[in-house]
C-alpha cells in the first residue's frame, strides 16, 4: 500500500519532499540519491540549495544518479537534463562532481552508454529515489507500454511527452524524440521511492497510479508493487482520487 500525503499547495508538497531528502542525507551523509528533472522538483532543489548554503546539510559525501537524459544533447546544452541539474542543484551546492552520475546524451553509441549506466547503478543501489509523474503516467521516460522488467535503455518519447515538455525548452524549438532512461525495474530497486505530483494536469495520472491495477498503460501504477513508496501530492493533483483531496 502506498502512503499518500496530500498538501494544500504544490509549495507545501515540495517542502515536505525536501525535508525528507534532507533528513535522509543528514542521517546518512553517503546516501545514494536518485534524482528527477522537470518542473515539479525545482522547489525541492531550491530548498536543498538553501539548506546547504546555511550549513544545515552537506551533500559532499552523497552520490546521485539521474533518471534520464535526452538523446543527442551534450551535457553543456542548456536543454539537456545534465545542464538542468547543474543549474538547479549541483552548481549551487557542495555535491562532489566525482559522485554525480549522469547519462551522456551525446554518446555516439547510445546502447553502450545505457549499458555503462546500468552497470554503475547495479554497483550502487539507490537509497532514495525522487520521481515526478508524466501526464500519461510515465516515470523517468518509461512511457506507456514499458515493461515491468525494463532496465536502462534508449526509448522513443510519446506524443504526449513531446507536447508536455515543449514549454520547458530554453533553446530548442522541438523536444528531442528519443531519450535514455532508467527502466522500471531499476526504479523499483531503490530502497525508498518518493513521488511528487502537483497540479490538475497530473490528477488523472495520480488516480490511475493509485486506484487502478498495475498496467503497462500507466507505468507509474507499477509503483504500487514497491514496499516503501510515498506520494506527495497537492490538492489539485489529488482531485480525482475516489475520496477526493484531503488536507
Asked if 109 contacts 120 with a C-beta cutoff of 8 angstroms, the reply is no
Number of residues that bind ligand F6R (CB under 6 A): 15
Return the number of the residue (26 or 168) whose C-beta is nearest ligand F6R.
168
136 in catalytic set: yes
- Integer-rounded Cα Rg, in Å, for the chain is 17
User: Residue 37 has which C-alpha cell?
Assistant: 528533472
Q: Name the pairing type of β-strands 100-101 and 68-70.
A: unpaired
DSSP 121-173: HHHS--SEEEE---TTS-BTTB-TT--TT--SEEEEPPHHHHHHHGGG-SS-S
CB 178 within 8 A of CB 143: no
Query: Within 169-208, which residues bind ligand F6R (CB under 6 A)?
Result: none
**Catalytic status, residue 138:** yes
Pick the closer one to ligand F6R by CB: 4 or 131. 131
As measured in angstroms, the least distance from the Cβ of 132 to ligand F6R is: 2
Q: Are 70 and 80 in contact (CB under 8 A)?
A: yes
132 touches ligand F6R (CB under 6 A)? yes
Comparing CB distances to ligand F6R, the nearer of 67 and 203 is 67
Task: Tell me if residue 213 is catalytic.
Answer: no
Q: Which of 88, 104, 138, 234 is catalytic?
A: 138
By CB under 6 A, residue 68 contacts ligand F6R? yes
Up-side HSE of residue 79: CA atoms within 13 Å toward CB? 18
Residue 101 within binding range of ligand F6R, rule CB under 6 A: no
Stretch that binds ligand F6R, among 35-43, 111-119, 143-151, 203-211 (CB under 6 A): 35-43
Q: Residues near 85 by Cβ (< 8 Å), separated by ≥ 6?
A: 35, 37, 64, 66, 100, 102
Query: Does 68 qualify as catalytic in the annotation?
Result: yes
Closest approach, Cβ 81 to ligand F6R, in A, equals 6
Interface residues with ligand F6R (CB under 6 A) are 36-40, 67-68, 81, 132-134, 138-141
Active site residues: 68, 136, 138, 143
Amino acid at each position: 500500500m502506498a502512503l499518500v500525503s496530500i498538501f494544500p499547495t504544490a509549495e507545501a508538497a515540495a517542502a515536505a519532499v525536501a525535508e525528507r531528502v534532507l533528513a535522509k542525507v543528514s542521517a546518512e551523509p553517503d546516501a545514494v540519491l536518485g534524482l528527477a528533472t522537470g518542473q515539479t522538483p525545482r522547489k525541492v532543489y531550491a530548498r536543498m540549495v538553501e539548506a546547504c548554503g546555511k550549513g544545515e546539510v552537506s551533500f559532499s559525501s552523497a552520490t546521485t544518479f539521474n533518471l534520464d537524459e535526452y538523446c543527442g544533447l551534450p551535457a553543456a546544452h542548456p536543454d539537456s537534463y545534465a545542464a538542468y541539474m547543474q543549474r538547479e542543484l549541483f552548481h549551487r551546492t557542495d555535491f562532489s562532481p566525482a559522485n554525480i552520475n549522469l547519462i551522456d546524451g551525446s554518446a555516439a553509441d547510445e546502447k553502450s552508454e545505457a549499458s555503462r549506466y546500468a552497470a554503475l547503478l547495479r554497483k550502487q543501489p539507490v537509497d532514495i529515489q525522487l520521481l515526478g509523474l508524466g501526464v500519461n503516467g510515465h516515470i523517468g521516460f518509461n512511457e506507456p507500454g514499458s515493461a515491468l522488467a525494463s532496465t536502462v535503455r534508449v526509448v522513443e518519447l510519446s506524443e504526449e511527452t513531446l507536447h508536455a515538455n515543449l514549454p520547458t525548452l530554453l533553446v530548442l524549438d522541438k523536444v528531442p524524440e528519443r531519450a535514455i532512461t532508467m527502466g522500471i525495474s531499476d526504479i523499483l530497486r531503490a530502497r525508498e521511492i518518493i513521488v511528487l505530483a502537483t497540479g490538475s494536469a497530473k490528477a488523472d495520472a495520480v488516480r490511475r497510479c493509485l486506484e487502478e491495477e498495475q498496467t503497462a498503460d500507466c507505468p507509474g501504477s507499477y509503483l504500487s508493487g514497491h514496499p516503501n513508496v510515498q506520494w506527495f501530492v497537492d490538492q489539485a493533483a489529488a482531485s480525482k482520487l475516489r475520496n477526493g483531496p484531503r488536507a
